[in-house]
Amino acid sequence: MASRSTQILEAAARVIARRGVRGLRVEELAAEAGISTALIYYHFKDRTGVLRATLEFINDRAERYTTDRAPEDPPLTPREELEKTLLLELQDTAEVRENSSAWGELRASAVFDEVLREDLARATLVWVQEVAAMLGQVQPMAPASSLAAAAERITALLEGLSMRWLSGGTPIGHAQDLMRGAIDAELAGLRQN
C-alpha cells in the first residue's frame, strides 16, 4: 500500500493533469486522495509544498517508466537505449498521459510562479543532462557543449510533441516518428563535430 504522502502526490498529479495547477485546491485534493485537508498540510505544509513535491513525484515516475527494464531483456546498444528512453515518454498509457499532462500544466504555471519556475528549471536541467549523457554514450567524441545543445533541442521537441499528441493535434505514431527523425538528425550533427 502506498504511503499517505505518495497517495496525496498521486492524487495531486491526477488533479493537475485534469484541471491544471490553478484548479488544484487543497479541499479537492483531499477529496481526490480520500483524506482530510489537515493531512495534506501535515505532509506538505502548504499548496506550494504540494506543487513542489508533485513536480518531483512526476519526474521520479517518468524516470521509472522510461528506465525500468525486465532482467531477462537483452542489453541495448547506447543508440537503442537513447531512442527507447525518449519514446517511452510517448506511450499511450494512462500513467504517461497523466504525467505528461501534469508536467505541461506545471510548465505553463511556472511562467507566473517564480518558485515553481526555479524548481522546473532545475528539473529540466537534470533531464537535459541525462539526455546529453546518453547522447555522449552514442557519440563519445562529441564536445560536451554540442551534446548539451542537442539534448536541449531533443527534450524541447519531446515536450512539444507530447503536448500536440495529448491535445489531439498529432497522432502518437507520427509524434514517435518525428522523435526518431530528430534523434537521427541530432546524432548526424554530433558526428560532424
Closest residue by Cα to residue 116 from 125, 124, 107, 128: 107
Predicted confidence at residue 180, as pLDDT, reads 98
Residue 126 has pLDDT above 70, yes or no: yes
Predicted confidence at residue 2, as pLDDT, reads 64
Average pLDDT value for residue range 154-176: 97
Residue 129 has pLDDT above 90, yes or no: yes
Residue 88 has pLDDT above 90, yes or no: yes
Predicted confidence at residue 115, as pLDDT, reads 83
Percentage of the chain lying above the pLDDT 70 cut:
99
Cell matching residue 182: 530528430
Predicted confidence at residue 23, as pLDDT, reads 83
Predicted confidence at residue 155, as pLDDT, reads 98
Structure confidence by residue, pLDDT tens digits, 22-70:
889 999 999 999 999 999 999 999 989 999 999 999 999 999 999 888 8
Residue 1 has pLDDT above 60, yes or no: no
Residue 118 has pLDDT above 90, yes or no: yes
Structure confidence by residue, pLDDT tens digits, 136-151:
999 999 999 999 999 9
Predicted confidence at residue 69, as pLDDT, reads 83
